[in-house]
Amino acid sequence: MSPLSLLILSILTGSALGQYYDYGSYLDPAHLLGPPGPNCVEECDCPMNFPSAMYCDGRGLKSIPSIAPGIKYLYLQNNQIEEIKAGAFDNVTDLRWLILDNNRIASSKVEKGAFDKLASLERLLFSYNELTEPVGPLAKSLIELKMIGNKISKIPAEMMLGLENLTSFHLQENELTTEGIIGAFEGLKSLHYLDISQNKLGKLPAAMPKSVQMLYADNNNIDSLLKDYLEKLPQLQYLRIAHNALTDSGIPAGVFNVSSLIELDLSFNKLESIPEVNENLENLYLQVNDISKFDLGSFCKVIGPVNYSKLRHLRLDGNHLTRSSVPFDVSNCLRQAAELTVESTD
């Protein structure tokens, strides 16, 4: 059956949907930045009008080349680098960005002390390598850490100590387990964004810093939540737990009734009913569950001039609902909604 879209009141233009956090490209093409500087190794480019950058990406390198002093932005992605020796960065103690994505570096091939002198490092991109645990210790100046698509199964809590300025941590597409991340994030006092999607987690991580605003845990094996989990995250705005194993019995009553939450994604789970959400929630995704009843009380306990849901987008397609499942007075409760999508699986 084709989707049934109910447009409630006027469609709001420019609605701000929460999106997956993405810095986009870090690169400015080296060939657009002028001729190379005199101190650059032959394998890389160091543009004279951007003397603090060294472009060594996609050069077939098997080891980290000699790095000229003064380099702050080092691009080493898309090579065949297999190891990092202890003195590899001794000449560039003021390095700010280090990009090592798409190489062949294993944790056992990162020598002890390799990052010790990088006291000003702000961004470390270490995705799509062969890491089995995070590299470290790292400087407390670090703001962003990406280790997507590795083989990380655990994060020793002591490896994260001191990273009090880290705001963005990307760990999706690894092999993390619930036991493997105990205490791992507790000391990250400035953490705003955490992506642990596509791992092997059975629960959301415990002992999270109160600063977290975006938590993405799609494509795991999460089957339940603790009743006070979100109450301990007073700044959380975006929560995504799609493609997991959540059931009604695993979701305590009122667990999502927190005023800070703007977007909640529970699609592709095993829910049989719509969970209670706070009136401040703006985006709710519940597609492809086993929901057979549209309970307006999940959104509005009281309906009145100043009592109504702020919900703008509601996805319920892929459940056991039809047009007749939608209550006649839905527009009184969901008066700010732009779209409500229902599609029966029957």
Q: Where are the chain's structural domains?
A: 230-346
Phi-psi region of 255 (alpha: psi -120 to 50; beta: other; left: phi over 0): alpha
Q: 142 CB contacts (<8 Å, ≥6 apart)? A: 121, 122, 123, 124, 163, 165, 166
Tokens of 19: 């999106």
pLDDT band at 301 (very low <50, low <70, confident <90, very high): confident
Please tell me the distance from the alpha carbon of residue 205 to that of residue 182, in angstroms, as a whole number.
7
Task: Assess contact for 215 and 240: CB atoms under 8 A.
Answer: yes
Residue 318 has pLDDT above 50, yes or no: yes
pLDDT band at 299 (very low <50, low <70, confident <90, very high): very high
Indicate the fold that domain 230-346 takes in CATH. Answer: 3.80.10
pLDDT on residue 333 = 94
Please tell me the distance from the alpha carbon of residue 242 to that of residue 239, in angstroms, as a whole number.
9
> Over the stretch 155-213, which tens digit does the pLDDT of each residue have?
998 889 899 999 999 999 999 999 999 999 999 999 999 999 999 999 999 999 999 99
Handedness of CA 195, 251, 331, 340 (dihedral sign): positive
pLDDT on residue 109 = 96
Beta bridge partner(s), residue 239: 215, 264
Handedness of CA 276, 277, 282, 284 (dihedral sign): negative
Question: Does the pTM exceed 0.85?
Answer: yes
Average pLDDT, the chain: 88
Please tell me the distance from the alpha carbon of residue 68 to that of residue 65, in angstroms, as a whole number.
10
Residue 275 has pLDDT above 80, yes or no: yes
pLDDT band at 17 (very low <50, low <70, confident <90, very high): very low
Q: Among 164, 170, 178, which Cα is nearest to 209's?
A: 164
Span 216-234, mean pLDDT? 97
Tokens of 328: 């006649």
Alpha helix locations (H) across the chain?
330-333
Span 322-337, mean pLDDT? 91
- Is beta strand 4-6 parallel, antiparallel or unpaired with respect to 339-344? antiparallel
